[in-house]
Structures are given as structure tokens and as C-alpha cells.
Chain A
Amino acid sequence: MNTLLEIILKAAVITLVALTGFAYLTLLERKFISRLQARYGPNRVGPFGLLQPAAEALKLIVKESIMPDKADRPMFFLAPIMAVVPALAIFAVVPFGKGPVLQLASNVNVGMLYVAAVIGTAVYGVAIAGWASNNKYASLGGLRAAAQVVSYELALGLSMVTVVLLASSASLAEIVQAQQPGNILGWNIFKLPVGFVAASIFAMTSLAELARAPYDLVEAEQELTAGYITEYSGMKFALFFMSEYIKMIALSALFATFFLGGWSGPFVNSLASPFGEILSLVYFIIKVLACLLLMVLVRATLPRLRYDKLMAFGWKMLLPVSLLNVVVTALMIVLGIF
């Protein structure tokens, strides 16, 4: 019974941290993009605009929730939930730091498969939202989301296979352990050339899974007003927003775990019990933040792809390269290079 209580407590803490992280990630993104575009960004609510997320949350809660007359009521309600739950579920297997206190289920031996399964089911929220809205723009957005995610999932999965090969384990805790020979060169991203290629493919495909710029055709404002989210308002709109940003955090955490050595860093293993663990958590948060800032930077820099180019890039470029990458990794392991 004790372990059950522990699991429930950890899950509650992870959910709370993810929700707070979502709120402040929106602020971070707006601030950072504003700076890149020589603006100030939100700076009126609280010091440095730090209370802006709270104000926005309050606004969204008190807003009227509009339901289109011809919408499919049950699915219209369920779609936001179907979007948020997989985003949160990814965190179950992420090792946040050294030691069992900072991990929930990161030592399950099918961790990588669990990640693939959860990411694969995350698209239903968007696709069903598009269908249930009974709106042409929303349906097009939902269709685009389904096709895009299925196409890019293959390359994403193959880049994760490379990580499994390099660590010879599918458990996320062991993947972090395998990247610790004592220095930064143990990180998977520095296992040249295959680690770097896999990391690049993972970064590109995870942007496509998130449907963020330059892959945000799902909600392309100029063509589809707002895509699948057009008919949503109030808290249901906020839930879709939440799912996107929580998935951003989750995929950044996965990138840090797979390629940047997870929670490892200097002095983590030499410090005494509570301090080493705290330091490992700090290292992990720094790595996740770096990935998040890179995502925001990409959004501020790159224009949107055209839809046929998006499909061609996924199928004719990323998929063959990632397949080849798996073969080369396997060869290098057989030859004893890694």
C-alpha cells in the first residue's frame, strides 16, 4: 500500500509541476520571441510580467465556453482531454534525477516502447477535435495533423531505436547510466556520427509531432484560421494549449534523457546523498530549458513549410536517413567502435 501511495504522490507532483511549467513556458516563449523581435513582451502584470500566466488563466476560466450548434457534443468535449492525457503520461518514465526519489517508473524495461506508444496516441485529440467541430477549416487541420504525425512517427521511432542500440537497453534509467563515462563525450549526441544524426532527426520529428513551427500546418492561421482549434474557446481552448506546451516540456525532457546524458553532470556522483540528487535535478532542468529555448528560437526564425514539401521531407529524406543511421549504428557496434 505504501508504494501505491508513493506512486500517487509522485504522479500528483509531476502533474502540478508540469501545469506550472506550462504556464511559465508560455511566458518564457513570449518574452524570448519579443526580445528576438526587438519588443518587450508582457511586462505589465506583476514584476517583469511574471503574473501574466495567472491573469490569462483567470481570463480563460471566466470566458464563455461556446459549443457550435452542429458539433458532435460528446467528442467535442472528449477531444481536449484526449490531447492532454498522453502529454502528461510521457513523464511517467522520465528519470528526473539520480536516485529512486526523483524517478517514477523510469526503470521499466519497455520504457522506450512506452514512449513510442504514448506519443502515437497523442494525435487523437487534435484529429477528433477537427472532426467534432463540424467546420471545414477544423476538419482540414485535423486531417493534416493525422497525416503529419503518422509520417513523422516512423523517423522518430527509428531515431529512438538508435538510442536503444547505443545503450543496449530500452529502459530510460539505463539509457542515462550508459551515457556516463565521466565526461561530456559519453553523451549520445557526441557519439559521432550516428548519435548526432539521431539527435537531429529526433529534434526535427519531435517538432513535427508537436505541430510547432516550421511544421505548424495543423493550425496555419493564414490558410485555416486556426485549424482544429477554430471552434474552441474558454477552458477547452486552454486544454489544447496546455497539451501543446506540456508535450514540449515532455519531448525536451526525452531529448535531454536520450542525447544529453539525462541528469548526469560533474560532481553528481561524488557529492553526499541529498546534494548529489539535488544537483542532478538541477542539471536535468538546465538541459530541458536549453531544449525548450531552442524550440522557441526555431519558431521565431523559420517560416512554415508547404504541405507537399513537409510530406516529401518526412518520407524521402528523414525516413531513409534514419534507416541508414540504424544500420550504421548496428555495424559500428558489431565492429566494436562503441
Chain B
Amino acid sequence: MSVEFFLFLLVAAVAVVAALGLLLSRNAIYAAMFLILNMASVAVIYLLLNAPFIAAVQVAVYAGAIMVLFVFVIMLLGAEKLNPADTKLALKWQRPLSIVLGMALFLLLGAVILTRLGGAVAAKMIDTSPLAIGKALFTTYLLPFEVVSVLLLAAVVGAVVLTKKS
């Protein structure tokens, strides 16, 4: 039982509780806060897996930028409380569908865990420094990287067009 194992148990418990809190809270601000807590604990799990770059990016991008916008929009619209009548009407056919899809996901995950359990996954020590990741992005994965950048540019242009008053 190493320190890392205890840390993992603690952080994983926090992550699960935060995810449950996100699902069960009736207030959108609380849901957003639980999501941030979940993201932060997942970042710590990345750190335990020896991937500091992913951990820092996880917090910087998701918790630091995207969730700030989420919180901003929730506060701006005053949309933190849902009207129960609206939710019943809006979620008519999504409920059974989400149950089916959720069960499918659990079956898939269960199958993977059952078939992989026992055979230990070989831990590969790879270079996770920002330098190595940058090199990989601009050599091996250059095409996907550029495609994603064009996609993001299209999204930015789309946002500008949508907000323009004509």
C-alpha cells in the first residue's frame, strides 16, 4: 500500500461524489461547481499517472476557461433554477433513450474490464514533457493537429457571424 494508492482512492472517491453531485443537484451553479471539482480530481489522477502536461491542460482549459463561461452564462440568464413543469415536458423521450444508452455504456465498460482483468497492462514509461508532446504534435500527428485547428477556426468564424447584427 503506497502513498500513491491511498491518494488514488481518495481522489477517485472525490471524483465519483462530485459526478453524483453534478447529476443530483437541482441548482445549475451547484452542478457547475461539482463539475469543476470533478475535473480537478481527474487532473490529480492524471498527475498520479505521470502525465503532468495533460493534468495542467485539463485544469487550464476545462476548469479555467470553459467552466468560467458556463458559470457566466448561468449567472447572466439567471437560469440556475429549473421549472419542474418544463423539465417534464422537455425530457419526454430522452429519458428512456438515456437509460438504454447508459446501460449500453456500462455493458461495454464491464465487458472490457472483465476481459482485461488479470492480464496486467504493461506500463510504458514514455516522455510526457511538453517538449516531447509538442514534437509529436508537429511531426507524427501534424495532419490531425492542423485539421483540428481549421475546425476551431471555422467555429470562431461561425460564432462571429452569429453574433453580428445585420
Contact = CB atoms under 8 A, between A and B. Distances in A.
Interface of B: 3, 29-30, 33, 36, 52-53, 55-57, 59-60, 63-65, 68-69, 71-72, 75-76, 80, 129-131
Interface stretch (A96-104, A141-149, A186-194, A260-268): A141-149
B2 to A, nearest CB: 12
A153 interface: yes
Given A109-B52, A113-B53, A113-B130, A147 B72 contact: yes
Contact of A121 (B57, B59, B75): B59
A120 B56 contact: no
Given A110-B130, A113-B56, A120 B63 contact: yes
Nearest to B53: A110
Contact of B36 (A114, A124, A147, A150): A124
A117 interface: yes
A127 B60 contact: no
Given A110-B52, A127-B75, A143-B75, A120 B68 contact: yes
Contacts of B72: 127, 143, 146-147, 150
- Bin chain A's interface residue count: 20 to 34
Given A72-B29, A109-B130, A117-B56, 18 more contacts: A75-B29, A108-B52, A110-B55, A113-B60, A117-B64, A119-B64, A124-B68, A124-B71, A128-B33, A128-B71, A139-B75, A143-B76, A146-B69, A146-B71, A146-B75, A147-B72, A153-B64, A170-B130
B29 to A, nearest CB: 6
A128 B69 CA distance: 13
Interface string A1-29: 00010000000000000000000000000
A82 B57 CA distance: 20
A131 B75 contact: yes
Contacts of B56: 110, 113-114, 116-117
Contacts of A4: 3
